Structure 1
Amino acid sequence: MPRSSTRPRTLRAVLATGAVLAVTAGCSAQVVTDPAGGADDKKGSGAGVRIEPAGPASSAPADRPAAASKPPATPSAAPSRTETEKPAPPKPKILLAGGAEGDQVRELQARLRQIAHFNRAPTGYYGTVTADAVSTFQAKRGLPRTGTTDTVTWQRLLGMTKKPTAAQLRPPAVEKPPPPKPDKRCMTGRVLCISKTSRALTWMIDGKVLSTMDVRFGSQYTPTREGVFKVGWKSRDHVSTLYDTPMPYAMFFSGGQAVHYSADFAANGYSGASHGCVNVRDEKKIASLFDQVRTGDKVVVHW
């Protein structure tokens, strides 16, 4: 028998083998001639042949140009802040507020009196009583309870009332009953005379009345103590450590109870109560009183 040849297989044999491998692997292949010899060319002196996998076959014909890729859609610009947000409506203009005086205040009071929100003769002065009347009018009409007369409040009032007559603006004087006599304990010395009956604080020196202001007391659960006391100490910008609330112009007379200004009393009147202190709602009056009162002055709380 002739001896088996050890010469490398011919290119035809290699191609045939590659075709079989390609079919067996289930993928396409391409023949690449390597002049330097492939990994199977042990001598490295012949023209090597290696099989490399071809890229995935394209279903499109070879002579058809590839479809041009579409440019990415340009995202629509986000709406600017000014396009999405509407400007806030302008705040109503304030026409009258506490401390104002004149004919317009008198007309305001007369119109409020027509609809039973002001129960006294017009004075022409915008004080705490007028502020309370405006506040209750605003609350009943669903307006912000500011106690000040702004354009919205004024227009609403004009629509509900008639132009006041001269008699309504300046009604005939009515003799007022004399105020009740102060407690006899208030008639000597420097005294903060505080009446629970009239809900008033009267600042007196040797029986002479120097000023009077509205006050509010504690609730039934935290009542204001009654009796004779002395101003123990003063604190202009005091803040309660127990309730964490401001107590400006505080004048302490019995433990933690003091005479002081109350913003809540100024805004809501007698609908609320203190935690035992004597609340004052007129800030100007309590500020003036604070400067006059001395440590050691007498305090009388009575019915």
Structure 2
Amino acid sequence: MVAPATVTAVITGAAGCTVQPADGEGGGRSPVRIELPSGTPSAPRASGGGVGAQPGGPDGTPGGTPGGRPAGTPGAAERARVLWSRGDSGRDVRELQARLRQVAWLFHGPTGLYDEPTEKAVRGFQGRRGLPPTGRTDSATWRRLVAMTREPGTWELYLMGGQPADDPDPRCRSGRVLCISKSSRTLRWMIGGRTVTTLPVRFGSEYTPTREGVFRVYWKSRDHVSTLYDSPMPYAMFFSGGQAVHYSPDFAARGYGGTSHGCVNVRDERAIAALYEQVRDGDKVVVHW
């Protein structure tokens, strides 16, 4: 039981958690820029189709040969070879989308699905480059895009979530636990050492960090609203002062382009609504790297 004075302090503190916004050529507004943490490994380079291949010259082609045509310059058949098109999915499509974001032709995702916005972005990029505006990513389009961009890091590939979860912390292997990993930006809901569900999450900024350690859910508030910032915190499950796990519409819209004031933001409203019904007061919360 929390003393009345403590409850008052807790509720006041809970209001201190809300969204903070993050600080080319292209088809419109400036893209979200992601500051990669020191030591973050690059995403693995995909094999086949030239994915991740680095060009030798400023136009994406290697140096010349005695035959007259520059070495590696594709013929008509190679230029027409389609690598990905609408309906395709996978890690390679994520990289395509991440590179399109770097040059401000795409503003959603990466999702890993070659959808209508991706097709439109590719068509726009092709038209600006003087390439046939098919909306399909062929070899010539890919080489030009690679020449203009850098290889995306892990956070860029999983900007909207979906990054594979790392192994659970040993403290999460017993009981009912919200096991939250800062390194993979995931929340595992675990019961008796078994993972029931996994959700992408984001955290506070370096100035308002999400606290690490072992905590307990001490208060649930389904339709909570921050009293300091007048911002909604639906499905809030408070575990440390004003810090809570809760749904964030901003995360759903912008991905990792923003941060909280210390809360653990969830982007999937349906998933956290289901999680909220399962979690009880007193359940353990482990926040770790």
Aligned with 2:204: secondary structure? Answer: coil
Q: 1:182 to 1:114 in 2, by over 3 A?
A: closer
Partner of 1:107: 87
Q: Does residue 117 of the first structure (1) align with residue 114 of the second (2)? A: no
The offset of 1:114, in angstroms, is 5.3
Partner of 2:27: none
Partner of 1:161: 136
Partner of 1:268: 254
Aligned with 2:259: secondary structure? Answer: coil
Partner of 1:187: 173
What does 1:140-289 align with in structure 2 at a 5 Å threshold? 140-141=104-105, 154-157=119-122, 159-162=134-137, 180-289=166-275
RMSD (Å), alpha carbons: 3.5
- Say if 1:262 and 1:281, in contact at 8 Å, map to a contact too: yes
The offset of 1:220, in angstroms, is 1.0
- Say if 1:114 and 1:161, in contact at 8 Å, map to a contact too: no
**Whole-angstrom distance in 2 between the partners of 1:115 and 1:204:** 29
Aligned with 1:284: secondary structure? Answer: helix
Normalising by structure 1, we get a TM-score of 0.48
Larger radius of gyration: 1
Identity of aligned residues (%): 61
Higher relative contact order by CA 8 Å / sep ≥ 6: 1 or 2? 2
The offset of 1:298, in angstroms, is 0.6
Normalising by structure 2, we get a TM-score of 0.50
The offset of 1:147, in angstroms, is 8.9
Aligned with 2:200: secondary structure? Answer: strand
- Say if 2:219 and 2:238, in contact at 8 Å, map to a contact too: yes
Query: One-letter code of the match for 2:205?
Result: S
In structure 1, stretches of 5+ residues that fail to align are 1-104, 119-132, 165-177
Query: One-letter code of the match for 1:250?
Result: A
In structure 2, stretches of 5+ residues that fail to align are 1-84, 124-133, 140-163
The offset of 1:205, in angstroms, is 0.4
The offset of 1:227, in angstroms, is 1.0
How many residues were matched structurally?
170
Partner of 1:37: none
Partner of 2:25: none
